[in-house]
Chains A and B, each alone.
Chain A
Amino acid sequence: MPSRTIIQTTSVVVVIALVAASLFVGGYNISLGNLFTDPAAAEMFLISRVPRTLALIFAALAMSISGVIMQLITQNRFVEPTTAGTSQWAGLGLLVMLIVFPEAPPMLRMVAATAFAFAGTAVFLAVLRRVAVRSSIIVPLVGIMLGAVVGAITTYLAGTFNLLQAMAAWRSGGFSGIVRGFYEPLWIVAIVAVVAFIVANRFTVVGLGRDLATNVGLNYDKVVLLGVTMVALSTGVSTVVVGFIPFLGLIVPNIVSMVRGDDMRSNLPWVAMIGVGLLLACDLIGRTIVAPMEIPASVVLGALGAAVFIVLVLKQRRTVSA
């Protein structure tokens, strides 16, 4: 087993390399050389590559930080926006907005998606409170099933209003359409990330459970409310801008915990970084494998994430039974 320092140094280098690759890989030939000599290349760089890379970074931040927060609130390793139904609710919100107010500006769509994501997460938490057996396995199961029910409603509504194609495009969300002027709302996620760093310790305490948290003088409900708001906001915004990003919030915090243990405050930078690296890698795979066409990063992530999820679940079972 290589030491922790080596793993961490390597991952920093890899993530930086991925950011660079994301900036310079693509149909239009841009290299460090012609970036400064060729104005067209520089223009292209600023219109497409930089926004796309930033969007990837912010979306990865949104999903992986949401994952950490939700895992602490529910005290369950397998919860994240897609396994709790939050993303599906955000999608329903987006669809409802498309139906009742098709001309809505992106800002309004985000408000709708965020509101639905918030309501959905609240429903999920309320259902969890009623679960008699808090088996760690049943929690994500309930979330996935809730998500499936919401997803069925969304599909049906979309079918009725001839919006299936719009929803399919959303579901397989992609970063290919991201250019200057589209990704800016994602800066909201950066603010959420900063807030997450500031209040990280409170979430760690919330992760110890309601009784203990209250005992050490924390307003448990208030912090949970803050957490749900942050999750809903980042899921809602990234849903509208880039679509559905499955499993990222699940894989990343778990991998980081395996290497570093469970302190949220000191883990958070690593969660953010590994999340960014993973999403960038998936996006690069999707960009290059069928060039000049693209496979959305979320599709790559969905297949990869499901495999990792199953391994994690089985691994946990082995440690529990051993």
Chain B
Amino acid sequence: MLETVAVASASRMKRLTPGMRLVIVGVLVAIAIACFLLLFIRGGFWFSFERRATMLGAMTIAAFTQGVGTVVFHTITNNRILTPSIMGFDSLYALMQTVTVFIFGGAVLAETEGLPKLITQTVLMVIFATLLYRWLFSGRFGSLYLLLLVGVVFGLAFDSVSVFLQRLLNPTDYDLLSTRLFGRMSNVDDSYLPLAFGVCLVVGAVLWARRYRLDALLLGRDTATAIGVRHKREMTLMLILIAVLVAFSTALVGPMTFYGFVVALLAYQAAGTHRHAFVMPMAFLLGLLTLVGGQFIMEHVFSASGFLTVIIEFAGGIIFLILLLRKGTL
């Protein structure tokens, strides 16, 4: 009985257009958000609502930056297993933050709170990431595994250098820095949220305008060049956008290694197409669904609200290993 239902729904899934699939997932997300915001409120409504709304904002940013960022990263690197986090992007972000504080001191950090500082650091990060990862993805590494290994070890090295520099800081500077580096979904600094939303909107608009070029990039360097896409320029631009997304993701919710990977993987399955016009929104929606729905269930069914990211990371790590070990699925 159950099997026939599953088969029937599977065949119906095949007939669904990508647009319909987006709508279905969108409705599910809306339901999840409504449940998350409105159900099981104990005590004052507004107090609870405000806290949950902030958390929802952080989740939205996380879902967008990680989900869409990973999909774009997959497209430009021409594989479906690397993610910005696995390649050490967020370690790089932590390193850039540390270096900034190390050179300019925590006082400067506090004085130029907000926009200028965040922009300076993001720019630094973008320059460095673009140079480094352009070198990594320039094709001189040949094997994907080698690329992945070098990226992973870069991440470890960045971590070590960060810790090294953090040890040299005085305690005040270190305190200022550590509040920047260890964001968490449940206690997000809400002064960052408007800026983060703005950045996500801009990046989203740029990506949306370039959705067809991204499709072309999927065909590989030669074909993309042949049909008139300036491959090198597009790749640089995309790396810059990814660096921006990762910077905001890490600043707001802290590092998440396997979340983007899981979300992108689900999005390819659920979207039913390779076109970025559908895959990118699908990744965002599924990312949001995972976080909001997961948080709701963890909080009210298992009353263990802190476990969500760990479960995602743990399951994601296992899935990643399985995929890595299965030959030919890369």
Contacts and interface: CB of A to CB of B under 8 A. Distances in A.
Interface of A: 78, 127, 130-133, 135, 137-138, 140-142, 144-146, 148-149, 152-153, 156, 159-160, 172, 246, 290, 293, 295-296, 299-303, 306-307, 309-310, 313-314, 317, 321
Given A156-B310, A306-B153, A135 B145 contact: yes
Contacts of A137: 143, 145-146, 149
A130 B326 CA distance: 9
Contacts of B157: 302-303, 306-307, 310
Interface in B108-155: 141-143, 145-146, 148-150, 152-154
B12 interface: no
A135 B164 contact: no
Contacts of A149: 313-314, 317-318, 321
A310 B154 contact: yes
Nearest to B184: A159
A145 B160 CA distance: 17
Contact of A306 (B141, B148, B156, B307): B156
Contacts of A145: 152, 317, 320-321, 324
A293 B145 CA distance: 40
Contacts of A172: 163, 167
Contacts of A144: 149, 152-153, 156
Contacts of A306: 153-154, 156-157, 160
Contacts of B306: 159-160
Nearest to B327: A132
Given A148-B317, A172-B163, A132 B325 contact: yes
A293 B167 contact: yes
Nearest to A300: B164
B27 to A, nearest CB: 32
B321 A146 contact: yes
B148 A303 contact: no
A133 B145 CA distance: 11
Given A149-B317, A317-B146, 16 more contacts: A127-B325, A137-B143, A137-B145, A138-B324, A149-B314, A153-B314, A160-B306, A172-B167, A246-B156, A295-B167, A296-B167, A302-B160, A302-B163, A306-B157, A310-B154, A313-B146
A293 B168 CA distance: 8
Nearest to A144: B152
Contacts of B146: 137, 313, 317
Contacts of B250: none
B75 interface: no
Given A132-B325, A135-B145, A137-B146, A303 B314 contact: no
Contacts of B325: 127, 130-132, 142
A145 B156 CA distance: 12
B234 interface: no
Most buried by A among B141, B157, B324: B157
B257 interface: yes
